[in-house]
């Protein structure tokens, strides 16, 4: 795929379902701020079956792709190179097309989590708790491997998920202990709590927020705030939200796809906030 002869470049987010993705809002805001008037960013409904043909059909004007569920693992066989970060969790959320036509996969969710926490003053913790055991939980463990010096307790439903999380801990080089979801209230006393569960899953925990909560990172952004995040904030705890994660992972995507540094974090966040407020 030779380099295009025009400044017009294309990028997009793929997934299924995709209609509610905020990625176009964030990336377009970045393009405006960076003066990339010829760049476009779209969204496409693409499932696992349609992904190979979609990727093969892309022309030289394409700079990159953002990938959401269920494509983060499905795209991996289609790539020429995968970063260590993406390989560590077997998930690619970013594909960059190089000038010589190579497809390079990366994962910006992990550094995005670290950057979102750093923005709120969290550089290092000596222990943490993770609520949930899905794909986002493995990314949370990868992020914690960079900033947590001690044990991470993951609260899960069922022994299979518990075994998976312990395996991820071994793979990522972080000390992981698992506990039953029935005891999830205990998680709320950790120095850092990362909630990776679907909407509504942590609502029942809101009543158990301690009087002096520490830091909660809730990866949801719509609806926001969650009951847990609202109670946490009301009690004076620090809250990092899903929009923080979404913005920071998109920042890394914009920088990788455009080659421009730094991406405009503030403009991207404001665009995301306006989009959410209008829903």
Closest CA to 127 of 150, 104, 99, 102: 150
For 212, half-sphere exposure in the C-beta direction (CA atoms, 13 angstrom radius) is 1
CA 155 to centroid of chain Cα atoms: 20
270 is catalytic: no
Dihedral over Cα of 126, 127, 130, 135: its sign:
positive
Closest CA to 134 of 101, 89, 97: 89
Q: Which of 10, 28, 72, 269 is catalytic?
A: 72
What CA–CA distance (Å, rounded) separates 127 from 240?
A: 17
Q: What positions carry a catalytic annotation?
A: 72
């Amino acid at each position: 795929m030779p380099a295009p002869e025009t400044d017009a470049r294309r990028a997009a987010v793929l997934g299924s379902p995709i209609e509610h993705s905020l990625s176009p809002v964030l990336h377009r805001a970045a393009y405006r701020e960076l003066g990339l008037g010829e760049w476009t960013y779209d969204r496409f409904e693409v499932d696992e079956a349609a992904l190979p043909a979609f990727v093969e059909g892309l022309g030289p004007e394409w700079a990159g792709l953002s990938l959401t569920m269920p494509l983060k693992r499905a795209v991996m066989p289609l790539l020429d190179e995968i970063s260590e970060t993406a390989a560590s969790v077997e998930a690619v959320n970013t594909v960059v097309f190089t000038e010589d036509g190579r497809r390079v996969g990366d994962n910006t969710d992990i550094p995005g989590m670290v950057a979102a926490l750093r923005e709120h003053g969290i550089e290092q913790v000596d222990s943490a708790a993770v609520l949930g055991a899905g794909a986002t939980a493995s990314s949370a463990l990868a992020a914690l491997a960079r900033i947590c010096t001690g044990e991470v307790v993951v609260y899960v439903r069922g022994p299979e998920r518990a075994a998976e999380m312990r395996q991820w801990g071994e793979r990522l080089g972080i000390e992981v202990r698992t506990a039953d979801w029935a005891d999830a209230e205990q998680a709320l006393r950790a120095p850092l709590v990362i909630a990776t569960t679907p909407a509504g899953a942590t609502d029942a925990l809101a009543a158990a927020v301690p009087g002096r909560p520490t830091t909660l990172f809730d990866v949801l952004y719509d609806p926001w705030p969650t009951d847990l995040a609202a109670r946490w904030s009301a009690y004076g705890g620090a809250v990092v939200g899903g929009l923080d994660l979404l913005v920071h992972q998109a920042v890394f995507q914009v920088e990788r796809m455009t080659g421009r540094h730094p991406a405009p974090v503030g403009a991207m966040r404001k665009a995301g906030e306006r989009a959410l407020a209008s829903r």
